[in-house]
Structure 1
Amino acid sequence: MTSAAEPTTGPATTRRREHEWTDPMVLAAAAAGLDGLEYLRRIVDGRLPGAPVASLVGFRAVSAEHGRVAFAFEPGEHQYNPIGSVHGGVYATLLDSACGCAVHSTLPAGTGYTSLDLSVRFLRRITVDTGTVTCTGHVVQAGRRTALARAELTDAEGRLLGEATSSCLILPGG
């Protein structure tokens, strides 16, 4: 008779994390009247709150320029997969956000976008020991109807942790 292996690290301990966010319709209303770059700059400098997903996942906008954005991310164990590192969905969320916001930074007021695809590559594991991670996105090619963006996740020493490309559909009129 065989049995499942017992955990070797001792008994499991429960942890708790609370989450607060701002009404996303406040952000949506602000987006309608601002060009993409001004909108993102207001999030960076705190005049507008970040997106609810940013507070949920644990990242924040730190810079916005025309065609380029950056986020800072502090990995935590609440983002771990069952094998003890940050879940790939967290990588994908950061990379998708950076690609999309890079495109958004190029759009005039009243114009929206949506991701058409996202291709992610996981290159190194992220743990709490990784420290602050930076996710930078930039527009590779922008057209009237679509845009192509690329994003990279790097650690404090500049090592590439993951990367992605994304095509975005431009939505005139929001």
Structure 2
Amino acid sequence: MGRIRTYEWDDPAITAAAVGRASGLEFLREVRAGRLPAAPVAATLDFTLDEVDEGRAEFSFTPGEEHYNPIGSVHGGVYATLLDSAAGCAVQSTLPVGMGYTSLDLTVKFLKRITADTGRVRAIGTVVSRGRQTALAEARLIDTEERLLAHATSSCMLFPMPAD
């Protein structure tokens, strides 16, 4: 018997239009508070932005079988999405008004298998280095016992947002 999962998301153009109008930290705090819609991918994978501070962002999610690959564990793309979100938002949290970023790369190391039995996991991103044009961030995916499940590094390009 097939399983069904339904979910909703808000218009991503609302949030995209707000990027650069406030500092990156203020922007992310608005998303965290629900005053700006979260990215649709957060609804697709069912993860949340739980904490954000200058140079740090934390997401969490509870794995389910809807996240599985054909061998019965969470797909590596789910790990990568969580780690990319945490690293990227850590960088975004350091940006002043009028600046944006995009990921240039993401290197992921998968260390432990995740299944629905793993329970809630957290992706914690921190900025390692930030210059005028690029930033380097890392992210760790950990379980409730603080065991490292995966690690990632990401380089991001920083740029001024176009004026209206």
Correspondences of 1:54-73 after superposition (within 5 Å):
54-73=42-61
SS, match of residue 40 in structure 1? helix
Q: TM-score, normalised by structure 1?
A: 0.91
Instruction: Compute the RMSD of aligned alpha carbons.
Output: 0.9
SS, match of residue 28 in structure 2? helix
Judge conservation of contact 2:137–2:155 (CA < 8 Å) in 1: yes
* Identity of matched residues, %: 60
Instruction: Report Cα offsets for 1:30-77 as digits up to 9, x if no partner.
Output: 223111001111111222221111111111000100000000111010
Q: Cα offset for 1:109?
A: 1.6
Using the alignment, how far apart are the partners of 1:171 and 1:76 within structure 2? 37
Query: Which one of the candidate residues 121, 125, 131 is aligned to 1:137?
Result: 125
Q: Cα offset for 1:29?
A: 1.5
Q: Cα offset for 1:171?
A: 1.2
SS, match of residue 109 in structure 2? strand
Correspondences of 1:101-116 after superposition (within 5 Å):
101-116=89-104
**Aligned residue identity for 1:102:** A
Query: Which one of the candidate residues 83, 88, 99 is aligned to 1:100?
Result: 88
SS, match of residue 54 in structure 1? helix
Counterpart for residue 160 of structure 1: 148
Count of aligned positions: 162
SS, match of residue 109 in structure 1? coil
SS, match of residue 95 in structure 2? coil
Instruction: Report Cα offsets for 1:110-144 as digits up to 9, x if no partner.
Output: 21111111000000011111100010000000000
Q: TM-score, normalised by structure 2?
A: 0.96
SS, match of residue 20 in structure 2? helix
Q: Cα offset for 1:18?
A: 1.0
Counterpart for residue 78 of structure 2: 90
Using the alignment, how far apart are the partners of 2:32 and 2:50 within structure 1? 5
Instruction: Report Cα offsets for 1:83-128 as digits up to 9, x if no partner.
Output: 1100000000000111110000000122111111100000001111
Counterpart for residue 124 of structure 1: 112
Counterpart for residue 24 of structure 1: 12
Using the alignment, how far apart are the partners of 1:149 and 1:113 within structure 2? 12
Using the alignment, how far apart are the partners of 1:81 and 1:43 within structure 2? 30
Using the alignment, how far apart are the partners of 1:27 and 1:33 within structure 2? 11
Using the alignment, how far apart are the partners of 2:88 and 2:62 within structure 1? 20
Q: Cα offset for 1:28?
A: 1.0
Gaps of 5+ in 1: 1-12
